[in-house]
Amino acid sequence: MSDAVALRPAAGPASPTSSAVSPAGALAVAEAAGAAATGPGLVRAEACPPGGARGPVGGWQKRAVDIVIALVALTLAAPLILLLMALIRLSTGSGAIFAHRRVGYDGRVFDCYKLRTMVPDGEEILQRHLANDPEAMREWLATRKLQRDPRVTTLGYMLRRSSLDELPQLVNVLRGEMSCVGPRPIMADELERYGPHAADYLAAKPGLTGAWQVSGRSRLSYGERVAMDVDYVRNWSLRTDFAILLKTIFVVMKCDGSC
């Protein structure tokens, strides 16, 4: 059974959530919120953005599209996924599927699946690396990612560049925990960085792909990522989803995924 994340209100007045926001405006607020967020506590978003009271953004239309796309994609990709799982097992000696906890719609916590791209003792290696490299620590605090991540294996690097490591998330889509398109799945401690816009993130299901993934990905700041999520949620349409899905195909073909 899924847990729900409990949040406390972010400091400062929350902007209205019933009206649309421009990407530039959202970026300004998101950057300020990201800079102001302190402490390990979680926030409880009380505001109700579009779609929040009626279920996740997109409703039954988005869910129907998700099921069709996920079923077709998982059927076609099954042989490739099995091959990659075998290669991972041979190269790391550990399980090929990695489940990491993420916050979804309405604060529900779920296991988000990925193909393993890191060594089994990755967390210990990360902590040592950050303790010995101040520049890496600054990068991690700013983006929650590292351009040169010592935990990632050679095969894992290739999977990340092609975004193939995220194929198991099609299972999350079928289970209703994620959508094909939506905000980037985040950990509970990242939600504070959304500040007054945490409610926008919680109003939608996290996406297998999204605006951030097709617009520069790790080259963008965390504030820009928040802005894109806010704009997507408040101005959602099926047309936007199909446009992002189409762009995703070209991003994957260019191997312009995560580092």
pLDDT at 206 over 90: yes
Given this model, what pLDDT does residue 125 score? Answer: 86
Percent of the chain with pLDDT over 70: 77
Structural domain boundaries, residue 75? 3-117+152-253
Q: How far is 15 from 49, CA to CA, in rounded Å?
A: 11
Q: Is residue 238 part of a domain?
A: yes
Q: Is residue 62 part of a domain?
A: yes
Q: How far is 105 from 112, CA to CA, in rounded Å?
A: 13
Q: Is residue 132 part of a domain?
A: no
Q: How far is 72 from 123, CA to CA, in rounded Å?
A: 35
How many domains are contained in the chain? 1
pLDDT at 188 over 80: yes
Provide mean pLDDT across the span 118-147. 83
Q: What is the DSSP string of 120-136?
A: TTHHHHHHHHHHH-HHH
Q: Is residue 122 part of a domain?
A: no
Q: Is residue 130 part of a domain?
A: no
Alpha-helical (H) ranges within 37-176 are: 59-92, 122-132, 134-143, 154-162, 169-174
Q: CB-based contacts of 171: which residues, under 8 Å, 6+ apart?
A: 74, 113
- Cβ burial, residue 32 (10 Å; 0-12/13-18/19+): middle
Residues, the chain, total?
A: 259
- Give residue-wise pLDDT tens across range 57-107: 999 999 999 999 999 999 999 999 999 999 999 988 888 998 999 999 999
pTM of the model as a whole? 0.74
Q: Is residue 19 part of a domain?
A: yes
Residue with more model confidence, 85 or 217? 85
Q: Do 101 and 109 form a contact (C-beta atoms < 8 A)?
A: yes
Q: Is residue 196 part of a domain?
A: yes
Q: Is residue 204 part of a domain?
A: yes
- Give residue-wise pLDDT tens across range 242-253: 999 999 988 888
